[in-house]
Amino acid sequence: MNGRSNNRREITLRTREALYGYGFILLWIVGFALFMAVPLVQTLNYSFNQVTVTASGINLEFSEWANYSRALFTDPNFIELLIGYTVETLVSVPIVLIFAMIIALFLNVKFRLKGLFRIIFFLPIVITSGPVIKELTAQGAASAPGIANIPAVVEFLATLPPALRSPVQYLLTSFILILWFSGVQILIYLSSLQKIDRSIYEAAAIDGASSWEIFWKIVLPSLSTATVVNAVYTVVTLSHFSENKVIRYIYDQTYDVHGGIGYASAMAFLYFGLMVILLALVYFFLMKWASRGTR
């Protein structure tokens, strides 16, 4: 008898707790349904239709896979842009990760004026926005200092096969901007570095390990989680960046007479699919590396 009532009270307590839990996240659930789930399904629906917007509402005309096949097989620009996006992302992610890691390692050392350097390296978090980047790129201020304009470099680029030329060119013209996407990643690395127990370094040093060995055997493996997080963050940030050419193209097609909402929606989903593939690729590659590192 007593046990049963205890049991029941346990259940009501748990229900009560769950109810409060749902209460706290209720606003978010409503918001998710209204601003994420419903629009996502609607966009998916648009992508299978010919959409025309009239004053009274929108007309849908079912067109099966027409929008998708048009994006993949007829449109000369879209596939080109997707390839460009893939190349740029795969070039940028390792640069951002390595740069962020190096800067974080620097900032983790104690030295005078560290505060000043921290301010410098986190500055781009504040100022990186679409229009600013666009203006800077237009003025050539984003290239690795002076390199992209040297005639010899231009000639060298011309001799490269096209498949190699675009990543190299991208690297030269946007090098600093790629680095500018590293701010948050430096923060994340720094926090991971600060969590490594100091005594491990001391123990390793006593055992005669050099700084080089300490980095590869202790520091790098303990940064593996942060690396995965940073890689995902970098891919997502680059893919959502408003000056991203694919995004600009989809946006322009939305209002284009020959494009339209249906076509833009189909491209949005294709782009999203590619982005997920890239994310998965980067994720599994790094996970494999991380599990090897801990062994």
Partner 1 sequence: MSFLHHPFADYLRSVLLGNRARRGLVYSIVLYALLIAIGFVYLQPLLFMFITSIKSASDLLNPMVQWVPTELFLGNYEKALRVLDYPNTLLTSILISVIPSLLQTVVCSLVGYGLARYRFRGKTLVFLLLLSTFIIPPQNTVIPQMLMYRDLGLLGNPLALILPALLGQGYKSAIFVLIFYQGFLSLPKVLEESARLDGASDIRIFFSIAVPSALPAYIVSFIFSIVWYWNETFLTVIFLEGGVTTLPMQLSKFTQAYENMYPPGTVNIFDRLNEAVKMSGTFLNILPLLVLYFILQRWFVESVEMTGITGE
**Taking contact as CB under 8 A, which single stretch among the options 34-42, 60-68, 88-96, 280-288 is the one that binds partner 1?**
34-42
- The answer to whether 27 contacts partner 1 (rule: CB under 8 A) is yes
Give, in order, the Cα–Cα distances in Å from 221 to each of 77, 188, 225, 231, 291.
Answer: 42, 15, 9, 15, 9
d(CA 136, CA 179): 14
- The answer to whether 200 contacts partner 1 (rule: CB under 8 A) is no
* Beta-carbon contacts of residue 140 (< 8 Å; ≥ 6 apart): 148, 149, 173
Q: How far is the CB of 162 from partner 1 (least distance, A)?
A: 28
Q: How far is the CB of 70 from partner 1 (least distance, A)?
A: 17
Nearer Cβ to partner 1 (91/125) = 125
| Per-residue mark of binding to partner 1, 37-66 (x: CB under 8 A) | -xxx-xx--x------x----x--------
Interface residues for partner 1 in 225-284 (CB under 8 A)? 225-226, 229, 236, 239-240, 242, 247, 250-251, 254, 261, 264-265, 268-269, 271-272, 275-276, 279
Helix (H, G, I), strand (E, B) or coil at 52: strand
Helix (H, G, I), strand (E, B) or coil at 289: helix
Nearer Cβ to partner 1 (160/285) = 285
Nearer Cβ to partner 1 (50/165) = 50
Helix (H, G, I), strand (E, B) or coil at 279: helix
Q: Residue from 68, 106, 201, 289 that binds partner 1 (CB under 8 A)?
A: 106
Helix (H, G, I), strand (E, B) or coil at 233: helix
d(CA 67, CA 81): 17
Q: How far is the CB of 266 from partner 1 (least distance, A)?
A: 11
First vs last Cα of the chain: how many Å apart? 54
**Taking contact as CB under 8 A, which single stretch among the options 10-18, 90-98, 152-160, 162-170 is the one that binds partner 1?**
10-18
- The answer to whether 145 contacts partner 1 (rule: CB under 8 A) is yes
d(CA 145, CA 154): 14
Q: How far is the CB of 65 from partner 1 (least distance, A)?
A: 18
**Taking contact as CB under 8 A, which single stretch among the options 32-40, 74-82, 88-96, 158-166 is the one that binds partner 1?**
32-40
Q: Residue from 11, 83, 98, 127 that binds partner 1 (CB under 8 A)?
A: 127
Q: Residue from 3, 54, 64, 111 that binds partner 1 (CB under 8 A)?
A: 111
Name the token pair of 125: 């978090």
Q: Got the DSSP string for 215-267? A: IIIIIHHHTHHHHHHHHHHHHHHHHH-TT-HHHHHHHHHHT-SSS-HHHHHHH
Nearest to 229 by CA among 274, 191, 197: 191
**Taking contact as CB under 8 A, which single stretch among the options 4-12, 21-29, 66-74, 212-220 is the one that binds partner 1?**
21-29
Pairing between strand 49-53 and 58-62? Answer: antiparallel
Q: How far is the CB of 188 from partner 1 (least distance, A)?
A: 6
Interface residues for partner 1 in 71-100 (CB under 8 A)? none
Q: How far is the CB of 161 from partner 1 (least distance, A)?
A: 29
Residue found under tokens 């680029």: 157
Query: Beta partners for 61?
Result: 50
